[in-house]
């Protein structure tokens, strides 16, 4: 961890002075698919990386710093710390004008639980409505079958009809094929999926064993085209592989390139967990000066990163739950 922070410190220091002097910290925005909403290209992920601040006051400081640096998309979930993340986010947005987009996720796998758990979320967040409610962490074909059997999505449609949530979505970092099937089947507005340079390389084994059959292909290759065909709002996650893709000392430009890769895809925003205040300054600075990678740059960078990291990420995401 010390090494990771030190290699981030170099780039954070480079952007700190401009940020301190800048009067306009606004971030670029993109349209969130068919919702028509404009969202900032960097979103604050409030999962394990927000929980790593350990104390509510420190987490609230991180959310406030994100706002100060232009972030206007906050992403949390019921399962993050068993409600702790939502509680901390609720404390951070209390009394703030509604100039942000608020998303949470439900791990409910029965229709009744959809309503019960969302009511608990709204109470923790201190709001009457969230902008976006995702079905959290679709794991694979069996999970999708269970969702269908228990009429979970039908319950979520009622949530939208009753305006407890303005929009609906589905997330996955486990199985691109199952997510693509779900997106094609259900009437949702958005989706959030794992999109980074290393994972794209999983679309073929290149002679290497694929540990998770669901990841023998990639979200970029399988699920993203379905989302774009339906004009869904697409959120990228795991741009840094939860820091597993961070470079070694003196390779700081890779940090920028990882975020640029995800933002060069047809996505509205990259949801970034930022477990240090320096990360917030750094990632928003990168976004503020963003230039897309060319197709050739994306292919070469993906090949490089997947060769180094795809096996480890495959194993990690086989059983990973960001709670």
Q: Is 92 helix (H, G, I), strand (E, B) or coil?
A: helix
* CA–CA gap between residue 52 and residue 275 (Å, rounded): 6
pLDDT in tens, 226-260: 999 999 999 999 888 766 666 666 456 777 899 99
* 6, pLDDT greater than 60: no
* CA–CA gap between residue 2 and residue 20 (Å, rounded): 25
* CA–CA gap between residue 243 and residue 264 (Å, rounded): 20
- What are the start-end ranges of the E strands in the chain? 29-31, 38-40, 42-45, 73-75, 101-106, 130-135, 165-172, 190-194, 233-237, 269-273
* CA–CA gap between residue 74 and residue 131 (Å, rounded): 10
Instruction: Write the Ramachandran bin of 206: left for phi over 0, alpha for psi from -120 to 50, otherwise beta.
Output: left
Highest-scoring range by mean pLDDT, 5-14, 33-42, 274-283: 33-42
pLDDT in tens, 54-94: 999 999 999 999 999 999 999 999 999 999 999 999 999 99
* CA–CA gap between residue 32 and residue 233 (Å, rounded): 4
pLDDT top residue among 271 and 218:
271
What is the pLDDT averaged over residues 12-36? 69
The pLDDT, as a whole number, for residue 22 is: 42
Quickly state the pLDDT bin for 311 (edges 50, 70, 90): low
- The pTM (predicted TM-score) of the whole model is 0.86
**What are the C-alpha distances in Å from 66 to residues 92, 195, 275?**
11, 22, 12
* 208, pLDDT greater than 90: no
Quickly state the pLDDT bin for 204 (edges 50, 70, 90): very low
* CA–CA gap between residue 143 and residue 280 (Å, rounded): 34
* CA–CA gap between residue 193 and residue 172 (Å, rounded): 5
What is the pLDDT averaged over residues 141-163? 98
Quickly state the pLDDT bin for 192 (edges 50, 70, 90): very high
Q: Which residues are bridge partners to 193 per DSSP?
A: 172, 236
Nearest to 168 by CA among 178, 177, 158: 158
Q: How many CB atoms lie within 10 A of CB 275?
A: 21
What is the phi/psi pair of residue 9, to 5°?
Answer: -60, -40
Quickly state the pLDDT bin for 225 (edges 50, 70, 90): very high
Mean pLDDT of the chain: 86
* CA–CA gap between residue 255 and residue 123 (Å, rounded): 37
* Token pair listed for 235: 């959120």
Q: Is 23 helix (H, G, I), strand (E, B) or coil?
A: coil
The pLDDT, as a whole number, for residue 246 is: 66
Q: What angle do CA 315, 47, 259 make, to 5 degrees?
A: 70
Q: Is 102 helix (H, G, I), strand (E, B) or coil?
A: strand
The pLDDT, as a whole number, for residue 252 is: 61
């Amino acid at each position: 961890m010390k090494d990771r922070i030190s290699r981030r410190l170099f780039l954070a220091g480079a952007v700190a002075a401009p940020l301190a002097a800048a009067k306009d910290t606004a971030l670029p925005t993109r349209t969130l698919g068919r919702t028509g909403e404009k969202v900032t290209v960097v979103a604050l992920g409030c999962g394990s990386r927000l929980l790593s601040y350990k104390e509510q006051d420190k987490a609230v400081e991180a959310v406030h710093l994100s706002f100060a640096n232009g972030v206007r998309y906050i992403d949390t979930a019921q399962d993050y710390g068993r409600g702790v993340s939502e509680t901390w986010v609720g404390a951070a947005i209390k009394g703030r004008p509604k100039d942000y987009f608020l998303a949470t996720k439900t791990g409910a796998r029965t229709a009744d639980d959809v309503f019960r758990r969302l009511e608990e979320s709204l109470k923790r967040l201190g709001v009457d409505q969230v902008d976006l409610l995702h079905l959290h962490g679709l794991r694979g074909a069996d999970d999708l079958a269970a969702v269908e059997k228990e009429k979970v999505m039908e319950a979520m449609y009622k949530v939208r009809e009753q305006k407890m949530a303005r929009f609906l979505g589905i997330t996955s970092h486990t199985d691109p094929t199952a997510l693509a099937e779900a997106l094609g089947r259900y009437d949702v507005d958005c989706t959030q999926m794992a999109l980074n340079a290393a994972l794209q390389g999983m679309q073929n084994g290149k002679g290497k064993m694929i540990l998770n059959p669901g990841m023998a292909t990639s979200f970029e290759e399988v699920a993203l085209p379905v989302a774009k065909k339906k004009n869904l709002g697409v959120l990228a996650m795991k741009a840094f592989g939860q820091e597993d893709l961070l470079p070694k000392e003196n390779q700081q430009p890779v940090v920028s390139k990882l975020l640029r890769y995800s933002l060069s895809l047809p996505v509205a925003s990259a949801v970034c967990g930022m477990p240090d205040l320096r990360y917030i300054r750094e990632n928003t600075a990168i976004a503020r000066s963003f230039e897309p990678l060319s197709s050739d740059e994306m292919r070469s960078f993906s090949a490089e990163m997947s060769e180094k990291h795809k096996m480890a990420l495959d194993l990690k995401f086989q059983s990973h739950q960001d709670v």
